[in-house]
Every structure is written in C-alpha cells, then in structure tokens.
Amino acid sequence: MTTNLWYLQKDIKIHSLYDKKIKKELTIDKMIELRLVKKGDLVKILGRGKIDAPIIITAHKFSASAEKLIEKAGGKITKI
C-alpha cells in the first residue's frame, strides 16, 4: 500500500481538529484504526504533496522526497 503526504496531511488535519486521534505520531496501528491502510499492508509513504505538521510517521518504506518533506516540517520518520 502506498500513500502520499497530501493524503496523510488531509487526514492529520481532519482527525486532529475533530477527535484528537493524531497528535504527534502516526503509526501503522493508528493508520489501521483510521482505515487509511489495511492490517497486513506494507506501507510506503511517497512525497507527493506537502506536510506542515511536525509529526513522527512510522512506515515500512519512505521515498527520498517524503523523508525530506517530513523532516523539513520538523517531523521524523521511523522505518519498521
């Protein structure tokens, strides 16, 4: 399963504003809970779009552009 930063940014804003489910970290378990990915999916984050929240994102893989954009926003990546 691949997803782009613009899609995650949209979900971070929606969930942060309404139910506070995403605060400082977005893990695979949180993505499953929010139905962004399915259990058992291998998750790769791609760099299309932008992200402005300083968040820690956990995934199996990240594109080089996604890593740069996440770190530029003050966030961090965690590869599993």
Place of tokens 């259990």: 39
DSSP state for residue 38 in the 8-state scheme: -
pLDDT beyond 70 at 76 = yes
* pLDDT score for 68: 95
33 pLDDT band (50/70/90 cuts)?
confident
**Number of helices (H) and strands (E), helices first, in the chain?**
3, 6
Say if residues 40 and 73 touch (Cβ distance below 8 Å).
Answer: no
CATH, range 2-79: 3.100.10.10
pTM of the model: 0.75
Res. 48 pLDDT band, cuts 50 70 90: confident
